[in-house]
Structure 1
Amino acid sequence: MKENNLLDRIFNFSVDTLKFLRTLPLNDELKVIKYQLIKSSTSVGANYEESQGASSKADFNNKIRIVLREARESNYWLRIISALDYKSDKLQTLLQESKELKNIFGAILLKGNKEG
């Protein structure tokens, strides 16, 4: 149940990020940021889904390492949007969720490295 919960949580993070990006204005600076954030936030879920079918512990850890990297990148782009003064409650929620996801995947990776 815990894993399904995490799968749902990651899926919702991706969808919520996409919906949030629709609310931002169209300009040159945000065009690049939106593109990068779309790629990283959806990659978190796609790579975590892949990790669930990993062929070995090493493969699983490698995929989780990618997930963590993408979660960190998503957090970075969200922080950039915030620093550019596009502040909202939704942005704050996404920032908090991205921090929590980074912590979760960091802990999973740490645990996997200790076991392996």
Structure 2
Amino acid sequence: MKDSILKNKSKAFALRVIRLYKYLCDEKKEYILSNQLMRSGTSIGANIAEAFYGQSEADFISKLSIAQKETGETMYWLELLHESDFLKHNEYDSIYNDAEELIKLLTSSIKTVKEKITASKPNH
């Protein structure tokens, strides 16, 4: 499997989400929001990994777009956990900043592939 910053960062993020999920369940006895966070937060990396095995550039873009949406959803759950006082401000800031970085990387990657597709099409 080709190594990439996007795959490495999304996997590291998923591991952070897993640790946060355990903390929320064990220490805070919060199960509903943390489950949603776990599902969306680990789905990001899974979709990125799947994108690298895509059948086409369009498939690659589609999988990265799903990962982008999952990142947005994950950010929403983090906001709710923070605003409902399950996450302290410093805990929230740290992981939320990582999610923002993923969004930027995904957006840039999608844009780059779209530009590559456009550039390779013959002018009519």
TM class by shorter chain equals 0.7 to 0.9
2:16 pairs with 1:16:
yes
Equivalent residue number for residue 70 of structure 2: 70
Instruction: Confirm or deny: 8 A CA contact 2:40 2:73 kept in the other structure.
Output: yes
Map of 1:89-108 to 2, 5 A cutoff? Answer: 89-108=90-109
Secondary structure at 2:4's aligned position in 1?
helix
Whole-angstrom CA distance in 1 between matches of 2:20 and 2:89: 10
User: What aligned pairs does 1:28-67 form with structure 2 within 5 A after superposition?
Assistant: 30-67=30-67
Contact 1:71–1:98 at 8 Å: present in 2 too? yes
Q: TM-score, normalised by structure 1?
A: 0.86
Task: Give CA deviations for 1:46-86 in whole Å, capped at 9, x if unaligned.
Answer: 11000111111111011111110111111111111111122
Give the structure with higher Rg (CA): 2
Percent of aligned positions that are identical: 25
Count of aligned positions: 112
Residue 87 (str. 1) matches residue 88 (str. 2): yes
Unmatched runs of 5 consecutive residues or more in structure 1: none
After TM superposition, the runs of 4+ consecutive aligned structure 1 residues lying more than 3 A away are none
Aligned to 2:116: 115
Asked whether the equivalents of residues 20 and 90 of structure 1 are also in contact (C-alpha less than 8 Å), the reply is: no
Structure 2 spans left out of the alignment, 5+ residues: 118-124
What is aligned with 1:6? 6
- The alpha carbon displacement at 1:3 in A equals 4.5
Answer yes or no: is the 8 Å Cα contact 2:6–2:102 preserved in 1.
Answer: no
Tell me if structure 2 keeps the 8 A contact 1:40–1:74.
yes
Letter in 1 for 2:115: K
